Amino acid sequence: EKKQITSAALEAEINAVKLTKNDNGIDFKSWPLDLLIDYIEKTHHRYVEEKSSVLYMFLDKLCKVHGGRHPELFEINRLFIAGAGELAKHMKKEELILFPFIKKMVTAQKTNQAISLPHFGTVDNPIAMMQDEHTIEGERFAKIAELTNNYAPPADACETYKVTFAMLKEFEEDLHKHIHLENNILFPGAKALEKQFTILDKLAQTSL
């Protein structure tokens, strides 16, 4: 509704995505959660860390050289700096708080052990926060896509200009894959796993 997309157009896009094989047809839903976390960290978190520093440098150069003719570059640069900075903090929260607890649940399930209640109460709480932050960053990078005319460099673009826009496009595409793995596979899996421990706790209390 916010983007004024008709239900027919949305349905067509969803069907197109469902028919498209991503990541060489890998079935991430079949992966253990701890393996999926390792993949997300080593593939997507590392990607953000490595590419952000390069894009900082390239965007700064574009603003200095082409900003006079293309003032939108300053807003693109501002948005990217803000987004990359927030993503860095977001990933640290996942790596230090949420992901270790999910791995702890996986290990406890394998070894038939109980787990203590985390300080955040339930995974629902940090997951809700992570999903809100995903939405904010998705919208921020959609704005960058709009300002870059969907990453189409202008006619007077130099090679650095073209490379920077191609990198921004790749960055956003990677972010969508990253968010998909977490929102649609990892987080629902973590919630389901936590419920198993909740059921076991209730059964134990009943037997006592």
Instruction: Write the pLDDT tens digit of every residue in 169-179.
Output: 999 999 999 99
What is the average pLDDT across 33-47? 97
pLDDT given for residue 138 in this prediction: 95
pLDDT above 80 for 15: no
Q: For the chain, how far is it from start to end, CA to CA, in angstroms?
A: 52
pLDDT in tens, 143-155: 999 999 999 999 9
What is the average pLDDT across 20-35? 80
The rounded mean pLDDT for the chain is: 89
CA 193, 195, 200, 204 dihedral sign is: positive
CA 138, 143, 149, 151 dihedral sign is: negative
Residues 6+ apart with CB under 8 A from 99: 37, 41
> Residue 200 and residue 20: Cα distance in Å, rounded?
39
Residue 201: band (very low, low, confident or very high) from pLDDT cuts 50, 70, 90? low
pTM over 0.85: no
pLDDT above 60 for 205: no
pLDDT in tens, 51-108: 999 999 999 999 999 999 999 999 999 999 999 999 999 999 999 999 999 999 999 9
pLDDT given for residue 21 in this prediction: 47
Give the H/E segment covering residue 74: helix 72-93
Residue 22: band (very low, low, confident or very high) from pLDDT cuts 50, 70, 90? low
pLDDT given for residue 121 in this prediction: 87
More confident residue, 115 or 75: 75
pLDDT given for residue 112 in this prediction: 85
pLDDT given for residue 208 in this prediction: 40
> Residue 134 and residue 25: Cα distance in Å, rounded?
24
Residue 9: band (very low, low, confident or very high) from pLDDT cuts 50, 70, 90? confident
